[in-house]
Amino acid sequence: MSRLYTATNICLTVVSVIYPLIWYFGQQYIGVTPIAVLMAVIWLMRACLARTSYHRMISSVVMVIFLCLAFIRSATAMYWYPVMVSMMMLLIFAGSLFSSQSLIERLARFKMPDLPPSGVRYTRKVTQIWVMFFIMNILITTVLIVTEQWQAWTVYTGIVAYVLMGVLFVGEFLYRQFCLKKEM
């Protein structure tokens, strides 16, 4: 079951990353229903194999959304998937700011269990930056959908958003390695 769980997560990640391209080109050739059903099946597998009830619930909700999209056959509604993913990430990151440890702090503690107070403050700020990134991503993607800029939507959600995430991730890593290493 562990291999199937890993394979399902890899499949879901790959399909989610290339979803803008799948949808942009797939809608012309195979239509809404097959793509929505494919996404629903992948999320169903994720729900069935989820290790926590929280992940099972989230996966089930996304699966139901895709089944509804398959039923109503709304091409425009299919463009909202990247917004949904960004909203889930926003909730995860922002929600962690209300707990004793932010998400980035939890990740940092894997490498440095005795994170100093300056590290705790830093990781909280990095989590806040990611929250702002997801808000910006949601807003840009929503504007592209509302204005029906489908080619720009494909380029932004399929390329630009990932480049921006990579720049943020690498930029923070380099800053931490070269500028903060002395402090932490």
Q: pLDDT tens digits for the chain (184 residues)?
A: 678 878 887 887 888 888 888 887 888 888 888 888 988 998 898 888 888 888 888 889 889 988 998 888 888 888 998 998 899 899 999 999 999 999 999 988 888 888 888 889 999 999 999 999 999 999 999 999 999 999 999 999 999 999 999 999 999 888 877 776 665 5
**DSSP H helical ranges for the chain:** 2-29, 32-49, 53-72, 75-78, 81-96, 103-111, 117-146, 150-155, 161-178
| Maximum distance among all Cα pairs of the chain, rounded to whole angstroms | 57
Residue corresponding to tokens 């929250």:
131
Q: Using an 8 Å Cβ cutoff, are 80 and 145 in contact?
A: yes
Name the pTM for this structure: 0.80
Q: Using an 8 Å Cβ cutoff, are 119 and 112 in contact?
A: yes
